[in-house]
Amino acid sequence: MGIFSLFKKQDAQRAPAATAGADEGVRLGPNSELERQQAQALQRDLARATAMKIDAIEAAMALDIFQDTEPAWGSRPARPPRPAVAGDHPTLPLLDENTTELLGEDDLPAQAVAAQTAPVVEEIAIVYANGQADMAEQMLVDNLPPAGAQDRTLWWMLFDLYQVTGQQDKFDSLSIDYASTFETSPPPWNALPPPAAAASGRAWSGVTPTELFSGQLDDTIAPQLERLRQQMASHPVLRLDFSRVQGVTPEGCALLLPVLQQLHGGERELIVVAADHLAALIQATVAVGNRDGGPAPWLLLLELLQLLNREKDFEETGMDYCVTFEVSPPSFVAPRAVATAARQPLAGAPDRYLLPTVVENPLDGLLAALAAYAEQYQTLVFDCSRLARVEFSAANALQTRLQALVQDGKKVEFRDVNHLVAALLRLLGYGELAKIYPHKY
């Protein structure tokens, strides 16, 4: 029953009496029959208008009481639309572009870092370049609240710093904040070789032999795998690129698996490009309970997940492998001396010059090696996948040498650069003589 229903009923009960009184007055008075009818019509119009007003008030009150704006139980208020921020677009050049896509001559963006963030980024880049990683970390953490919602550059720099210094717990904590702030997936943990590796004999740099796999990964890859075996003894670093692989067969998986295990288990360093792409192709060919392809695709998939340091995915796939073949899966072992890079739709120079973990003075040996590399190639492609830091003074000396090479007609590219180093290179003006491709987050 509506709130005003009772009032309307009471009014209806009183209406006959009032009308009767009025009628009685009409009969007793000297008014004519026409005047009496006009008075009754006026009373009816007034009563109708009052009833309509009561109905409108009752409907409004019912709407306020029963249809308020409170969310239903178990729901949450709609999230307001996120305003466009500087972090949604490239801040450092190519930071938000696919690091593996070759750009045309005029495709380099003009803007380097969002204006409000640039001074902080530059200061942190200099501090880190001078070997003060702890101070750089503190500066990044302190500047995330005021600048972090507008520009992702600081986030990416801090992610790289945690990976270079091996601080996975802090990396995971930052990942939660990043996902909450930008409503997107955080980058995966892929620790870079720490700077300390340079002092432990792992400071080798030079032209890295690259084996590029393409098309169908089947038994036709045997000659490539034989080349890899021959290069193991003479090259401390090897690079495998699966960017152009379009499909896999059980036979190809069976051939690649032991070679990849041997490379990973040796003392050399290994750079694997598009391991996640190859893993996805294999994943599409296997199914729980299906033994048609044999165990080789499963085991190669597990090996790739191990190289990518994706322990959770490794364990889940291991359980599926166990159910399918009724045997125990291999145990997860964190990768060592392995660097991974994203898929490269367009290939650059096949042989890249792998830069050491730290570029620092004296540079005589490195500069001499770069000169020899430049004699063989027109385009100099520097692989920065394990480059953790470039010392500030060394960066200036390297820039001078590269300027001379560019004047001689050489082209220069820096690939898979971490964002701390990329910020320094941009600050020093490397963008005027080289293409810089930071790795993508």
Class of domain 352-438 (CATH, top level): alpha beta
pTM, two decimal places: 0.58
What is the rounded distance in angstroms from the CA atom of residue 249 to the CA atom of residue 218? Answer: 5
Q: Residue 25, CB half-sphere, CA atoms under 13 Å: how many?
A: 10
What is the rounded distance in angstroms from the CA atom of residue 230 to the CA atom of residue 209? Answer: 11
CATH architecture of 210-341: 2-Layer Sandwich (3.30)
Say if CB 158 and CB 141 are below 8 A apart.
Answer: yes
Query: What is the predicted pLDDT for the residue at 150?
Result: 66
| pLDDT by 10s per residue, the chain, length 441 | 444 444 444 444 444 444 444 444 444 444 566 666 666 656 556 555 555 555 555 544 444 443 333 332 222 333 333 344 444 433 333 333 333 333 333 333 333 445 556 788 999 999 999 999 999 999 999 988 765 566 788 999 999 999 989 898 999 999 999 988 888 888 888 765 544 444 443 456 677 778 889 899 999 999 999 988 888 877 778 888 898 899 999 999 999 999 998 887 766 778 888 899 999 999 999 999 999 999 999 999 999 999 888 889 999 999 999 999 999 999 998 887 787 777 765 555 457 888 988 999 998 889 988 888 898 888 898 988 889 999 999 999 999 999 999 999 999 999 889 999 999 999 999 999 999 988 877
